[in-house]
Structure 1
Amino acid sequence: MNKILDFLRAFLLCALLGAALPATASADKAPDVLVRDVTTEVLEIVRADKAIQAGDTQRVIALVDAKVLPHFDFRRMTMLAVGRDWRQASAEQQTRLTDAFRTLLVRTYSNALTQYRDQRIEFRPSRFAPADTRVQVRTEVVQAGAQPIGIDYMLEKGEQGWKVFDVIVAGVSLVTNYRSSFGQEIARGGIDGLIRSLEERNRALAEQQGMSQGDAGRGA
C-alpha cells in the first residue's frame, strides 16, 4: 500500500507540471521531453508555493482541475481500471465512472503533494522510434533517507498530442491496482453500484478536506 501511495504522490507531482505548459505547446514535445519539462517545473512550483506547503489541499485540487487534466486520458485510465465490465456500461455510465474515478484520484492524493520538499527526479534513457504512438517514459524519485521509487509513465499519442494513460511504480500499475476492487464492486452492485461507491467516497473525502482546510484556517 505504501508503494501505491508513493506512486500516486509522484503521479500528482508530474500531473501538476501541466500548470506550466499550455496544451498546444506540450502537444509538439516528444514524450520524454514533456515528462522532463513538466516534472522539473512542478518541483519548482511546489517548493515555491507557501499555500501548498502549508497543507492547502483545495489549492492543489483547483490547480489540477484547471490545468492538469488535459495532459491525462482519464477515460482510457478508467476503461482499463474497470476492465471487461466497461463494455456493459452505457455512454452515460461511462461518463459518470470517468468523472468519479478522476475525482477520486485527485482528492485522495492531493494531500500528499503538500509533503514534497527536496525530492529529486532522475530520468532514465527512453527508447522509442519517431513513428511510435505508445511509449514508456521511465523516471526515478530520489529522496533522502528512503529507497528510490521507480516511476514509469505510459503515454499514447493521439490527435491532441501525448497523454498519460497509466503510471507504474515499482512494477505496480495504477489501473491494475484499482481493477480488483472495481471488479468486486461491480459483482456486488453492477456498474451503478460502482458509480455509487465512487461518488460516496468522493463526497466523504470532500467533507474531510473541507473540515481540514477550515481547521488550518482557524489555526493561522
Structure 2
Amino acid sequence: MMKFALALLFALFCNLTPALAQENAPDALVRKVTDDVLTVVRQDKEIRSGNTRKAIDLVETKVLPYFNFQRMTALAVGRDWNKATPEQKTRLAEEFKTLLVRTYANALTSYKDQRIVYKPTRLQPDDSSVVVRTEVVQPGSQAVQLDYELAKQGDGWQVYDVRVAGVSLVTNYRDTFSQEVRSNGIDGLIALLGKRNKELQAGKS
C-alpha cells in the first residue's frame, strides 16, 4: 500500500482543468480530483495490470502543469542548488521530473481498492501555502499518512512536496544528491539522474 500512496503524488491531479484549479480551495481540490482519479484507475484494467507506459502517458498529459518541479528540484538538491548555473538548473529539473514521473507512474499500477480519508485543513484567506492531510486505507493493512504541501500560484495551487508517513519524498533524495555533487559536481548529478532514467526506461528497475 505504501507504493500506491507514493503514486498519489502525481495521480492526484489526473483530471484537473485550469478552471477547476482556480475555483477550488486546496483541500476541496484534493478531495474532488483524488475521487475522480480513483474512479478512472478502477475502470482501467490496463493500468491495474501493469501498463506503465499508459500510466506515464496519463501523468505527462494531465498532471505536470500542477506541480512546481523547479521548486521540488531545488528542495531535493538543497544548498548545492545555488552552485548550479541556470542551464544546469534547467537540466536538473528536467531529469528530476522525468525520474519522478517514471517512478510514480509505475507505482500507480499497484492500486488495490484503497480508499482515502481526508483530514480537516487549516487555511486562512491570506495563506500562500498549505498542507492537505489524508490517509490511504486498505482493509488488513495499517493506514498510511499522506500529506500534500501546496503553494499558491496566481489564482491556483501547485504541489511542491508530499510526505508519506511523515517522510518528505522530495528531500529524501537530498543525501544522495549531496554526496554525488561532492564527488562529481553538478554535472555528475545530472549524469546520475540521466543514467537512472535510462535504466527505468529500459525496464531494469
TM-score range, shorter chain: over 0.9
TM-score relative to the length of structure 1: 0.88
CA distance in 1, matches of 2:142, 2:85: 44
Deviates more, 1:95-104 or 1:14-23: 14-23
1:157 pairs with 2:152: yes
Q: Is the 8 A contact 2:27 2:132 kept in 1?
A: yes
Structure 1 position 160, deviation (Å): 5.3
Counterpart amino acid of residue 166 in structure 1: D
State the alpha-carbon separation in 1 of the partners of residues 135 and 16 from structure 2.
Answer: 22
Could you report, residue by residue, the CA deviation over 1:25-49 in whole angstroms, capped at 9, with x for unpaired residues?
A: 2122100011111111111111001
For residues 87-166 of structure 1, the aligned pairs below 5 Å read 87-159=82-154, 161-166=156-161
Equivalents in 2 of 1:133, 1:115: separation in Å? 33
Higher helix share: 1
In the TM superposition, what is the alpha-carbon distance from 1:111 to its structure 2 partner?
Answer: 2.1
| Contact in 2 for aligned 1:14/1:39 (Cα 8 Å) | no
Considering only aligned residues, what root-mean-square deviation do their CA atoms show, in Å?
A: 1.7
1:14 and 1:42 in contact (8 A); partners too: no
1:118 CA displacement: 0.8
Task: Tell me the TM-score normalized by structure 2.
Answer: 0.94
- Structure 1 stretches of 4+ moved >6 Å: none
| Among 14, 18, 23, the residue aligned to 1:19 | 14
**Residue 20 of structure 1 contacts residue 41 of structure 1 at CA under 8 Å; is this kept in 2?**
yes
Structure 2 unaligned residues grouped into runs of 5+: none
Name the % identity.
Answer: 54
Alpha carbons 1:13, 1:43 under 8 Å: kept: no
Shift of 1:81: 0.5
1:74 maps to 69
| Secondary structure, aligned partner of 1:19 | coil
Task: Give SS of 1:200's match.
Answer: helix
| Separation in structure 2 between the aligned mates of residue 147 and residue 98 of structure 1, nearest angstrom | 34
Q: How many residues align?
A: 205
